[in-house]
Amino acid sequence: MFFPISGAHISPIYLAIVGFVIGILGGFFGVGGSFIAGPALRLAGLDWNFAVGTDLAHIVGKSVVAARRHRALGNVDLRLGSIMALGTIGGAEVGAQAIQMLKRAGNVNLVVSIVSIVVYVSIAIFMLWESRKTLRLEKGRAQRGLVKGGKSKKDYSAFGPVTRAIQKVKIWPMVALPTSGIAAISLWMILLVAFVGGLFSGFLGGGAGYIRMPSMVYVLGIPTHLAVGTDLFEIIISASYGTFSHAVKGNVDILIALVMHTGAVIGAQIGVIATQYFAGPKIRLAFVPLPLIGAAIVIYTIISGHKL
Amino acid sequence: MKKGTAKTVRVFAIELALYTVLVVIYFFLVLHLLGQWLYELEIHHRYTYAGIAILLIIGQAILLESLTTFLMRLIRGRFD
Q: Are A30 and A227 in contact (CB under 8 A)?
A: yes
A166 vs A148: CA distance, rounded Å: 30
At A133 the pLDDT is 81
Give percent above pLDDT 70 in chain A. Answer: 90
- How far apart are the two ends of chain B, measured CA to CA in Å? 19
Cα B73 off chain centre by: 16
Residue in chain B lying closest to A239 (CA): B54
Contact B61 A62 (CB under 8 A): yes
Domain chopping of chain B, boundaries: 3-79
* Region A136-154 average pLDDT: 61
> Residue A280: is its pLDDT beyond 80?
no
* Region B31-46 average pLDDT: 89
Rg (CA), chain B: 18
B43 vs B45: CA distance, rounded Å: 6
Per the document, the length of chain B is 80
> Residue A282: is its pLDDT beyond 60?
yes
Each residue's pLDDT tens digit, B53-78: 999 999 988 888 888 778 777 776 66
For residue A106, CA distances in Å to A39, A96, A102, A112 come to 19, 15, 6, 12
Q: What is the mean pLDDT of chain A?
A: 82
At A149 the pLDDT is 45
Each residue's pLDDT tens digit, A246-271: 899 899 999 999 999 888 888 877 77
Mutate to test the interface with B, among A248, A265, A269 (most CBs of B within 10 A): A265
Which of B13 and A206 is assigned the larger pLDDT? B13
* Region A45-59 average pLDDT: 87
A164 vs A186: CA distance, rounded Å: 12
Contact A57 B68 (CB under 8 A): no
Each residue's pLDDT tens digit, A78-98: 999 999 989 988 998 898 889
At A252 the pLDDT is 94
Q: Are A87 and A190 in contact (CB under 8 A)?
A: yes
Q: Are A210 and A291 in contact (CB under 8 A)?
A: yes
* Region B1-28 average pLDDT: 73
A162 vs A227: CA distance, rounded Å: 17
Sign of CA dihedral A220, A203, B45, B62: negative
A vs B, Cβ pairs < 8 A, gives: 89
Mutate to test the interface with A, among B24, B57, B63, B67 (most CBs of A within 10 A): B57
Contact B58 A243 (CB under 8 A): no
* Region B10-31 average pLDDT: 76
* Residues on chain A bordering chain B, Cβ-to-Cβ distance under 8 angstroms: 3-5, 12, 16, 57-58, 60-62, 64-65, 68, 240, 243-244, 247-248, 250, 252, 254-255, 257-259, 261-262, 265-266, 269
Of the candidate ranges A58-62, A193-197, A202-206, the one whose mean pLDDT is the lowest? A202-206
Q: Are A239 and A207 in contact (CB under 8 A)?
A: yes
For residue A129, CA distances in Å to A143, A167, A189, A199, B46 come to 21, 22, 24, 25, 45
Burial bucket for residue B5 (CB in 10 Å: 0-12, 13-18, 19+): exposed
Mutate to test the interface with B, among A241, A262, A272, A277 (most CBs of B within 10 A): A262
At A30 the pLDDT is 64
At A308 the pLDDT is 41
Which of A63 and B39 is assigned the larger pLDDT? B39
At A254 the pLDDT is 94
Instruction: Please tell me if residue B24 touches chain A, with a CB cutoff of 8 Å.
Output: no
Bridge partners for A69 per DSSP: none
Chain B residues within an 8 Å CB radius of A12: 27
Burial bucket for residue A226 (CB in 10 Å: 0-12, 13-18, 19+): buried
At B31 the pLDDT is 74
Phi-psi region of A151 (alpha: psi -120 to 50; beta: other; left: phi over 0): beta
At B52 the pLDDT is 95
A205 vs A34: CA distance, rounded Å: 6
Chain B residues within an 8 Å CB radius of A248: 46-47, 50
Partner-chain residue, chosen from A64, A247, A261, that has the shortest CB–CB distance to B49: A247
Residue in chain B lying closest to A63 (CA): B61
**Strand A174-177 and strand A8-9: pairing?**
unpaired
Give percent above pLDDT 90 in chain B. Answer: 29
